[in-house]
Structure 1
Amino acid sequence: MTAAAGQAAASDTPVSTARACTVNAPRFTGSPGTGSNDPAFWPARGTYATTTTRCKDINLKLDASREVRTCFKKGSGWDCNGWRGLAAGRWGLAATDVLDNTKFFVQFKGTTRATGLIDY
């Protein structure tokens, strides 16, 4: 009976625990834009990222202060939220309360590529 209880307890423990949001977040390097109608962005042109269950928001910790906006897949197109300023060196929200498995990309005002940490 002790072995069975021990086995049950072991099966209730996940094999690997997912990391918490923003803990050991990956670095990113955005792509440069080409002009006022084509700002810098992340991920690569023509691609998108998909939100996970780990974070309820899209979080950025930028190496330099920047205005950002997040664009979400909507039907056959994309819908972008408003620009918001994020300070360098601290976590900020690119978008809040985003549903899991939502397709998105981030734009950075200006044409200079952005760098920092991202988690979503």
Structure 2
Amino acid sequence: MGRICSEYASGQHFLRATYEVDGEALRLNLTAQSDADTILNLCHPPYTNLSGVQSISDHRLQIFADRNLPSEAALIPTGQLADVAGSRFDFRKATRLPEGPFNNTCCLHKMP
């Protein structure tokens, strides 16, 4: 279950995460119910080490997104859209992971 920040989310919450294998894909469905009007953004941080070695510095990441949502210091998106071209968030082609942690919301588009 995820963490609910009571500063932004009021009421009681019921969260459900369902994993499903669909051919060669792993699908995650996230749902939530609340007994009060609230702001809720469900996400899953996929911290997965696919190679089994201690470091992920040689992993490559590809995300089909031309834009992202910049965040403020508290990691809440500002509502603006930013182009990823030339930025540290440009993963349109398989790219080695950047140094240090990064937290980003990508605006996905259809695969080529």
What is the TM-score with the length of structure 1 in the denominator?
0.27
Greater share of residues in helix: 1
Greater share of residues in strand: 1
Q: Which has the larger radius of gyration?
A: 1
